[in-house]
Chain A
């Protein structure tokens, strides 16, 4: 349910009467989250007698968030406020790709492969990256992690690709 608000920024599409776009869009998004939560908890049992059901408190908080989102959006209409900041695409895209890759790869491919590729994919997120340097540092860091996490900290995790071990 956390994914809903990460939608693309709405820029200059907003009508003129919105004087504080940052607050307006923020408030609307919170309302959307609240409505989503209301829908998601609609199958849960409500009050019976004076005893709370599983859905009572989630719905209470959702309604409260709906109200607060509404007030924030209203403030965005009535008061002058800052514009919505510009979003970069490169950083978020590659950092997210790197994270998702790590999540998919850690089980089948093991720590060594996933950490190294994760480093390189994330490095794509900045235009300052120098590749030779990134590969060397990535390799050293992978080695460090491979020693630190499973051995020093004793966290159980696969090291190498599964098909190599079997």
Chain B
């Protein structure tokens, strides 16, 4: 069968000693940098991107995949230990993970996160191999109108399951879309809202904005009076590093459910992984016998979202490889990396460079395996990080972030911009606006504009093209349906309850 031939080809590429080594180094470095608090997945991948430039394309992408998984796991580690979600996907992990850490169960929480991620990774790898080819065929039926509708659907999806007010989430997306407009116009090259600042000519970098609104804003907020108590509590006691039999038994079904949910949602472009982790958490809470345990250190509350986000992170390669749409900020960076190596992601890659695609898919599985091998023994070390007092931790985070941003473009202006976005992020937190949708809007903005313009150009300015093409109409209908469902008061009340309880 094709599938096995493809997978064999992939493992043939990925299992060469040099690629194995690259994957191992990537996963290790990714974990080490990702575990630095304040430097999440996006920042880690952005910082480490340059070290892959000198490699051949396959090797570079395999190493990047390793870095990505390492960073993802490193990011969960900081969510659990210091309550700083490195990126949107680990936000839910903080809810129960940090509570577990407070109860001295940081070790089991970290271990379960690694085990759940590994399981999810195995399932998702197979899924990509199975679905990759058929979805590529579907992708060929996609015109600009469909792409645009698909992105609308993705954005709506991201708001529906986000916590808090839907209206505010949508406002944040639009704000992000607006921010993405800064820089040169794709078609005419006109400078837009850049105020003749040369560094803005290329637009605002994701990493700059992400590090500002997540990293710096979080630090500033943690320095507020009242945040201290939470931080100190963690340092008191640490018991048992490995999960008990009961922990494993409790979390296994949650891992399976999270994996299934994550795999499905990950395929949708538009923050699949973010949605997946929120959805998995909500689902676990809904079917739990005693929902009140959630938010107070329930191990399922760590297992389900962590597996879901890893499964989704993996299946989110599908839209990238088949449609060329980066479903989230990290994938957008991957597109950047591919472009540097002269690969344009999209349906052609699958056909023209199969060894590249399948090599990467196989290396994802290997990357996951590496992660569990590297990280289970390291859990003890990470837990010891908790002993570092915050007064020493936060200036260190500031330095790491500053150097990290500077190193991306060697531009001091980027550092100041990130600082400004830090203040913006602090303000957003104070007004209960979520930064995650903002970032998503920023990522999808340029693509949305491009496809919107192209679709209307092809239809000669006829807006009905979005509803007259069946595939596009279906996508928009699903988006509209979701929005209506979300605004229905009954569902909304339930949804709010889920997160209000767990956060208080």
Binding site for B on A (CB under 8 A): 1-3, 5-6, 9, 22-23, 25-26, 29-30, 33-34, 37, 40-41, 44-45, 49-55, 57-58, 61-62, 64-65, 68-69, 71-72, 75, 82, 84-88, 90-92, 95-96, 98-100, 102-104, 106-107, 111, 115, 118-120, 122-123, 125-126, 128-130, 133-134, 137-138, 141-142, 145, 149, 153-157
Contact = CB atoms under 8 A, between A and B. Distances in A.
A95 B219 contact: yes
Contact of A102 (B50, B167, B415): B415
Nearest to A7: B427
B406 interface: yes
Contact of B420 (A3, A102, A138, A145): A3
A142 B396 CA distance: 9
8 tightest CB-CB pairs across the interface, nearest first?
A50-B461, A91-B223, A26-B431, A99-B419, A54-B185, A122-B395, A6-B423, A54-B190
Nearest to A121: B395
Nearest to A118: B399
A6 B168 CA distance: 18
Given A57-B181, A100-B419, A149-B403, A91 B224 contact: yes
A95 B216 CA distance: 8
Given A68-B170, A68-B171, A34 B178 contact: yes
Contacts of A86: 224
Contacts of A68: 167, 170-171, 174
B193 A145 contact: no
A166 to B, nearest CB: 20
Contacts of A120: 395
Q: How large is the interface on B (under 10, 10 to 19, 20 to 34, 35 or more residues)?
A: 35 or more
Interface of B: 47-48, 50-51, 167-168, 170-171, 174-175, 177-179, 181-182, 185, 187-188, 190, 192-193, 195, 216, 219-220, 222-225, 228, 389-392, 394-396, 398-400, 402-403, 406-407, 410, 412-413, 415-424, 426-427, 430-433, 445, 449, 452-453, 456-457, 460-462
A122 B398 contact: yes
Nearest to A101: B402
A124 B416 CA distance: 19
A4 to B, nearest CB: 9
Contacts of A134: 391-392, 395
A130 B171 contact: no
A102 B406 contact: yes
Nearest to A51: B457
19 contacts: A2-B179, A6-B423, A22-B431, A23-B168, A23-B431, A26-B168, A44-B190, A52-B457, A57-B453, A72-B167, A88-B223, A92-B223, A95-B220, A95-B422, A102-B415, A103-B415, A115-B403, A145-B399, A154-B51
B223 A126 contact: yes
B403 A128 contact: no
A153 B51 contact: yes
A104 B412 contact: yes
Given A1-B179, A115-B402, A153-B50, 19 more contacts: A2-B417, A6-B426, A26-B431, A26-B433, A37-B181, A44-B185, A50-B460, A52-B457, A57-B452, A61-B181, A96-B423, A98-B398, A99-B415, A104-B412, A107-B412, A111-B403, A125-B223, A145-B399, A149-B403
A119 B403 CA distance: 12
Contacts of A55: 192
B399 A115 contact: yes
Contacts of B177: 61
